[in-house]
Amino acid sequence: MMEVKAIRGMNDILPDEAMRWRFVEDTTRRIFSLYGFAELRPPVMERTDLFLRGIGDETDVVEKQMYTFTDKGGESVTLRPEATACVLRAVIEHGLLGKDPIAKLYTLGPMFRYERPQKGRYRQFHQINAERLGEDGPLADAETLAMAYDLASSILGREALLMEVNSLGCKACRPAFTAALKDFLESRQDRLCADCRRRMHTNPLRVLDCKVESCREAVQDAPLMDALLCESCREHHGMVLAGLDALGVRYEQNPRLVRGLDYYTRTTFEITATGLGSQNAVAGGGRYDDLLSILGGPAVGGIGFAFGMERMIMLMGERQETASGCFVVAQGRPDIEREALAFMAELRTAGIRAEAAFGRSFKAQMRRADKAGYPLCVILGEDEVKTATLTVRDMRKASQVKVNRAAVLEEITSMLADDKGERA
Ligand code: HAM
């Protein structure tokens, strides 16, 4: 029989990686809640129209990458390629901004894009996504960028990170920039790739982001948005940067930074990391002042970002969260095993993780205790039963003590606390 394999670009997260995923998720929840964000969990599938309206039909995501199909009821549905449109749809549908004019929401989960899989680029990938709605001032932008920076640096450290910031202008000043850019691109069209010759008319900003070498060279001295920002966008941008300075965020201004989705206005940013090769964007986001109204909601602005979780986890490297708790080894006699089992229940009641592998040789059980990475091993044999003691072995120091049965829980708790202190 032929083996059934996973779909290309869609990966299993195996138990030995799950620890790192949990670490990233826990850190995210901790940091985001410090900023007053709450969780919202939209479904993974939406009506296709949401993404056509929300992301822009001239984007690569909508043009080429959506998992779209007709369901059994004849409706066109799409596995979400990103979360922003979904979160905004939920906010509008449930009237959340009517209940509170400010919404700060985050969501974690899988996204789907039909891209060519490679290191750091998958067809099912996971995002940490945050959206902040109802605050239009520049300090909301600065604080949101700081939250992204906080998360990135807590997990990856500051050294490997670069945060780049730009302003893409607004409805008032962007058209002049788009027109100037179109003129410029038309004068160089013979040097552009086929995609960009088309995009030049439909979505000229995307040409600035093309990875084809000849296009990159052709746009070297293209006009830049910062020269054409209107007074109000310029002021907003200046205050965002001042806010970032006040918050101690390290960033660089990159006037060439554009984003792959169409909804951005004003502040946009990306966080890249060394060590990922060509797929080096760990996070990206920005302000979107028109998206809520485009999706049928109130005319208020928002700002948000998303991290690619696979990329973060890859960068964390081999960092392993060591298991805490006790492995229990018992001599193979039914009454001793029963006693060991009862002792494990006692450990768990005290909040201490406990595992065993009864029914194997003593040596095999010890080998497993070692491999599982437990700092302590509790041994229960004939001698221990006779003397009402337990042997507690410190696996890292390779030393052991016999402890009175009545005092053993206290001893284990204190040894585990010491172990944690030593590792911190
Ligand atoms: P995005 O730049 O398309 O933005 O994606 C954000 C991050 O998701 C990227 O920086 C990258 O780390 C990760 N990512 C994207 N595609 C893949 C893939 N195929 N495989 C692995 N990782 C990937 C957005 O999605 C916006 N919704 C962000 C946002 C939220 N803007 C405002 N609010």
- Asked which of 180-194, 303-317, 408-422 is least confident by mean pLDDT, the reply is 408-422
d(CA 68, CA 121): 19
Does residue 148 register a pLDDT over 70?
yes
Q: What angle do CA 148, 28, 160 make, to 5 degrees?
A: 50
What is the pTM (predicted TM-score) of this model? 0.85
The mean pLDDT value for 321-346 works out to: 90
Judged against a pLDDT cut of 90, whether residue 316 lies above it is answered with no
User: What is the arithmetic mean of pLDDT over 135-145?
Assistant: 97
Residue 411 scores a pLDDT above 70: yes
Ligand 1 atom 6: residue of nearest CA: 306
Q: Does residue 77 have a pLDDT over 90?
A: yes
CA distances from 163 to 97, 150, 154 (A): 30, 11, 14
For residue 129, give the ligand 1 atom closest to its CA: 30
Return the residue matching tokens 């208020």: 300
> Which residues fall within 8 angstroms of residue 402, CB to CB, at 6 or more apart?
384, 387, 389, 390, 391, 392
Nearest CA owner, ligand 1 atom 22: 308
Q: What is the pLDDT of residue 331?
A: 92
When the pLDDT of each residue in the chain is averaged and rounded to a whole number, the result is 93
Pocket test for ligand 1, best of 55, 125, 155, 310 (most atoms within 8 A of CB): 125
Name the pLDDT band for 57 (thresholds 50, 70, 90): confident
pLDDT tens per residue, range 256-269: 899 888 899 999 99
Residue 39: count of CB within 10 angstroms of its CB:
12
Residues having CB closer than 6 A to ligand 1 are 82-84, 113, 115, 121-122, 125, 127, 129, 131, 260-261, 281-286, 304-306, 308, 310-311
Cβ atoms of residues 375 and 395 within 8 Å: yes
Closest CA to 89 of 57, 120, 133, 125: 133
**Distance (Å, whole) CA 125 – CA 20:** 15
Q: Region 227-250: what's the mean pLDDT? A: 96
Q: Whose CA is nearest to atom 31 of ligand 1?
A: 285
Alpha helix (H) residue ranges in 258-407: 291-294, 309-315, 334-349, 362-371, 382-387
Give the pLDDT confidence score for residue 322 in this predicted structure.
Answer: 62
Nearest residue (by CA) to ligand 1, atom 8, is: 308
pLDDT of residue 321: 57
- Ligand 1: atom nearest CA of 261 is 3
218-235 average pLDDT score: 93
Question: What is the spatial distance between Cα 24 and Cα 18, in angstroms, rounded to a whole number?
Answer: 10
Which pLDDT belongs to residue 418?
Answer: 87
Digit-coded pLDDT (tens) for 239-254: 999 999 999 999 999 9
| pLDDT for 320 beyond 60 | no
Q: What is the pLDDT of residue 304?
A: 98
The residue-averaged pLDDT of 339-368 equals 92
| Lookup result for tokens 């596995």 | 79
pLDDT the model gives residue 424: 61
The DSSP symbol for 130 reads E
Say if CB 159 and CB 273 are below 8 A apart: no
